[in-house]
Structure 1
Amino acid sequence: MLIFGHLGITLGAAVLLNGALIKSGVMPANQGQPDQDIEAPSPQEQRSLPLGKWSWITSLGRRIDIRILLVGSLLPDIIDKPVGQLLLRETLDNGRLFCHTLLFLIILTLLGAYVYRKTRGNWLLVLSGGVFAHLALDQIWRTPRTLFWPLYGWAFERLVDLTRWLRGIWYALFTEPSVYIPELTGIAVLVWFTIALLTRRKLCSFVTTGRF
């Protein structure tokens, strides 16, 4: 999966999960960190607040820094692709290395749980959530040698050279539904998210704080 697919589908999944928790009553819609320029509503007022059409994304933006979620959704590629396909091109030429492993996800999640316990800050857990989504969307279980590294050995497998890989991706982007449909879906979610920001006049707030 490519950039827009990872970004948009991860964001959309987070919004849907947040909405499902709201609908089930597990979390109130207005729980989280309110805007700094708006007085926080009382518990009685929170229960009476209506749920608007942007309520799920708004409540998600009050709970987490969405920017960190988006970074997490690309983090394995941000690290592994420059290392494996540029720095180690002659020996590996593989864009899925340590950050695409279950071990990396577990370490990141445990660190996130520790930070949350000590500071109540959820940013590292949000980052690990983005990484989890990345591995799932990459269907990394189809390459168990990478997913369960180093159980199958310390060496990562060598893939095709970078030039052939880029040509293959470019061709698949226009011919393979499994490639272009996720990208179009991701673009649609990102457009919807941008409309939500502009409609609520929260673009600057999102850029500076990652929240609504």
Structure 2
Amino acid sequence: MIFWHLGVTLFLFVWIFKDKNADLRFLLIGSLLPDIIDKTLYLFSFTNNSRTYGHTLLFAVLSLFAIMIITNRENPKRKSYLLIPIALLFHLVLDEMWMFSETLFWPSFNGLFSASNSSANSLIELFIISINKTEVILKEITGMLFLFLSLNQNTNFRVNLVNLIKTGKY
């Protein structure tokens, strides 16, 4: 669910943090990172589930620790890098990962992930199954709406979208 994660994460971040100087490109990358990691692992048959390592609380916490250790306080990009673990946490909430506690708290429960709730054998099958679910369609439409509302403030949508892509701000 691309637009669900992009739109709602952007909207929530702007609404909660109200940080006009944040480079939102890092936030948007972080909002998709769990799916990029886990779908790639699933695509190459390293896992039998499309929600694994990237959808764990451990991954979000380790990302935060890694950024805090690697960057120093004076690093002007540190604040931008910290948007990634914030977005990872938003992603876990938006995916309702508390419903899949074996995955969320991995490796706490015997080192196993929650059972896959999909019969898909490939990413294409997973995509086809997903787009036939009303819940997925409604979430994607909601994400598009939030993305539009977030980027349609003060000036027009297209100008804000171009600014977001070029500078990370709108």
TM-score, normalised to structure 2, is: 0.82
2:50 counterpart SS class: coil
TM-score, normalised to structure 1, is: 0.67
Question: 1:180 offset after TM fit, Å?
Answer: 2.9
Counterpart of 1:117, as a letter, is: R
Unaligned 5+ residue runs, structure 2? none
The number of equivalent residue pairs is: 163
Distance in 2 (CA, whole Å) between partners of 1:161 and 1:196 is: 40
- What corresponds to 1:7 in structure 2? 6
Question: What do the CA deviations read for 1:152-199 (whole angstroms, capped 9, x no partner)?
Answer: 123435533335533431211xxx3x3333222211122234434853
Does the 8 A contact of 2:100 with 2:114 survive in 1?
Answer: no
Counterpart of 2:56, as a letter, is: T
1:162 counterpart SS class: coil
- What corresponds to 1:105 in structure 2? 60
Q: Tell which structure's C-alpha radius of gyration is larger.
A: 1
Question: 1:117 offset after TM fit, Å?
Answer: 2.5
Does the 8 A contact of 2:55 with 2:97 survive in 1?
Answer: yes
Alpha carbon RMSD of aligned pairs, Å?
2.4
1:122 counterpart SS class: helix
Q: What pairs up with 1:32-181 in 2 under 5 angstroms?
A: 60=19, 62-84=20-42, 86-88=43-45, 92-114=47-69, 115=71, 117-120=73-76, 121-157=78-114, 159=116, 160-162=119-121, 165-172=126-133, 176=134, 178-181=135-138
Question: 1:203 offset after TM fit, Å?
Answer: 4.7
* Runs of 4 or more consecutive aligned structure 1 residues displaced over 4 Å after TM superposition: 200-204
Does the 8 A contact of 2:31 with 2:90 survive in 1?
Answer: yes
Distance in 2 (CA, whole Å) between partners of 1:197 and 1:204 is: 14
Question: What do the CA deviations read for 1:93-136 (whole angstroms, capped 9, x no partner)?
Answer: 21111111111111111223342535242122101111111111
Distance in 2 (CA, whole Å) between partners of 1:146 and 1:116 is: 31
1:117 counterpart SS class: coil
Distance 1:4 1:204, change over 3 A: closer
2:169 counterpart SS class: coil
More displaced stretch, 183-192 vs 151-160: 151-160
Does the 8 A contact of 1:112 with 1:122 survive in 2?
Answer: no
Distance 1:166 1:208, change over 3 A: closer
Counterpart of 2:40, as a letter, is: P
Distance in 1 (CA, whole Å) between partners of 2:161 and 2:140 is: 23
Counterpart of 2:7, as a letter, is: G
Distance in 1 (CA, whole Å) between partners of 2:154 and 2:28 is: 15
Aligned residues: percent identity? 31
